[in-house]
Amino acid sequence: MTAPAVDRAAPRSGRWHIPITVEQRAASRFLQQLGVNLVALVLAFGLGAILLLMAGDNPFDVYREMFDRAFGSSRALRETLRSTTPLILTGLAVTVCFRMGLWSIGAEGQLIAGSVAGAAAALVLGPSLPAPLAVAAVVIAAALGGAAWATLASVPRALFGTDEVVTTLMLNFVALGIMNYLIYGSVSYWRDRTNLGFPAGKVIPESAQLDPYFGVFDAGLIISLALALIVALALRRTVWGYQLRVAGDSRAAASYAGISATRQIISVFAVSGALAGIAGGTFVMSITFALEPRAIAVNLGFVGIVVAAVALLKPLLVVPIAFLMGALLSIAPSLSIFGVSPAVVIVIQGIILLCVAGAQFFIRYRVRITRVEVGSR
């Protein structure tokens, strides 16, 4: 006898009530979704403008400058897309785990593990392989590195129920410590030995460096877009994805359906770790060209959590959100040089994300103004 609990009255305010009804939409069309998101962006920039005016800046100038620095030139667009690639991948990594109710916050550490493994593959195999094979080798090594790092947390989780939030978080610091040690603390294979007075990573061979096509985007972006598509299809169209969705909704139903929790947890973590690891591998191939701890550990794994959450754990939605987030990240440092307070830029970024996240509510629900009969009280 459970009727859908989607029709609820709005709370009262004072002695009056707000005549609004919220109803779940049966289905939302693409254009509707696009429209709602555009309205959200306009609203965000409107609110941001008020803030900028209060801070004494001309909002039009600031917005034009922001736009120019994110998309205005091929160089700006390249920077934006370079930030987008790893965010798509870490966003996907988080999405996969969260969809099963595994609260992994280890994408950061898995990305680092992927960078270390990817850089190793580039340094060892790069010189002897042609470009496409060298890139493939780095991607595979990075995926394995990330997956292995995730497995350190997943096996205790699957076998003994160890809290994955704690283990994945702590492993992030362990990964960072190891990477720092490899470059700053030792004369390791990854370190540039030509100048030991100045610690830096050894530059990977050119066959493993990604050149931007048309000066704008490189193979890393193509790989990440392909993976977004693959993750989306895997969730919807494979037995593995089905079992993940069932386990994410009800563990009791999953065991009833004969789904092995142990196996599913380990495989989901491995896939998640591999995606984050590839983020590290592509980062090395297209941005740092070496194992550079200071450039690699810039919270891309943590921002991935924000991307996944705003994208409502939908793999295809991760792509535009990562793009938006990538643009915001790439303009932040240059804008503060332009004279706008960095704090204001951060607040505007927050407002934009908040509005986009809030917009998703209006995509799933319809809000109607309802008539109030006279004498209703």
Partner 1 sequence: MEPAVRTRGLSKDFFGQSVLEDVDFDLRWGEIHALLGENGAGKSTLCSILAGLYHPTRGEMMLAGAPYSPHSPHAALEAGVGMVYQHFRLVEQMTVAENILLGNPDVPVRMTASGLADRAREVMDRHGLWIEPTRYVADLAVGEKQQAEIIRLLNRGVKVLILDEPTAVLTPREAEALFATLRNLADQGQGVILVTHKLREVQQSADTVTVLRSGKKVAHQGVEDTTTHDLARLMIGDDLAPGSGVDASHTTGDKLLELHSVSVVSDAATRPELDDVSLTVRAGQIVGVAGVSGNGQRELAEVITGLRTTTSGTIRLRGEDISSQTIGSRINKGMGFVPEDRLTRGLVLGLEIEDNVLLRSQRDREFSIGPFLRLSAIRQWARRLIDRFDIRGVRKGLPISVLSGGNLQRLILARELSRQPALLVASEPTRGLDVGAAEAVRTTLKTERGRGVGILLFSGDLEEVLGISDEVVVMYEGRIVASRPASEVDVAQVGRWMAGVT
In the complex, the residues that contact partner 1 under the rule CB under 8 A are 1-4, 6-12, 17, 19, 21, 24, 26-27, 236-240, 242-243, 245-246, 249-250, 252-253, 255-260, 370, 372-373, 375-377
Cβ nearer to partner 1, comparing 44 with 313: 313
CA distance 310 to 5: 24
Helix (H, G, I), strand (E, B) or coil at 166: helix
CA distance 259 to 251: 9
Helix (H, G, I), strand (E, B) or coil at 173: helix
Shortest distance (Å) from residue 245 CB to partner 1? 6
3-state secondary structure 47-103: HHHHHHHHCCCCHHHHHHHHHHHHHHCHHHHHHHHHHHHHHHHHHHHHHHHHHCCCC
Cβ nearer to partner 1, comparing 27 with 337: 27
Length of the chain: 377
Residue 22 vs residues 6, 7, 369, 373: alpha-carbon distances, Å: 7, 6, 9, 18
Shortest distance (Å) from residue 162 CB to partner 1? 22
Helix (H, G, I), strand (E, B) or coil at 201: strand
| Residue where the block lists tokens 């139903």 | 253
Cβ nearer to partner 1, comparing 17 with 78: 17
Residue 19, number of CB atoms within 10 A of its CB: 13
Shortest distance (Å) from residue 363 CB to partner 1? 13
Residue 246 vs residues 20, 240, 259, 265, 272: alpha-carbon distances, Å: 34, 10, 9, 13, 18
Shortest distance (Å) from residue 227 CB to partner 1? 17
281: part of which helix (H) or strand (E)? helix 261-283
Cβ nearer to partner 1, comparing 186 with 262: 262
332, HSE (Cβ side, Cα atoms, 13 Å): 17
Cβ nearer to partner 1, comparing 8 with 193: 8
First to last CA, the chain: 29
Cβ nearer to partner 1, comparing 149 with 362: 362
Shortest distance (Å) from residue 286 CB to partner 1? 31
Cβ nearer to partner 1, comparing 266 with 291: 266
Shortest distance (Å) from residue 156 CB to partner 1? 22
Shortest distance (Å) from residue 140 CB to partner 1? 20
Cβ nearer to partner 1, comparing 128 with 255: 255
Shortest distance (Å) from residue 230 CB to partner 1? 12
Cβ nearer to partner 1, comparing 9 with 196: 9
Angle of helix 74-99 versus helix 239-249 axis, rounded to 10: 70
Shortest distance (Å) from residue 143 CB to partner 1? 18
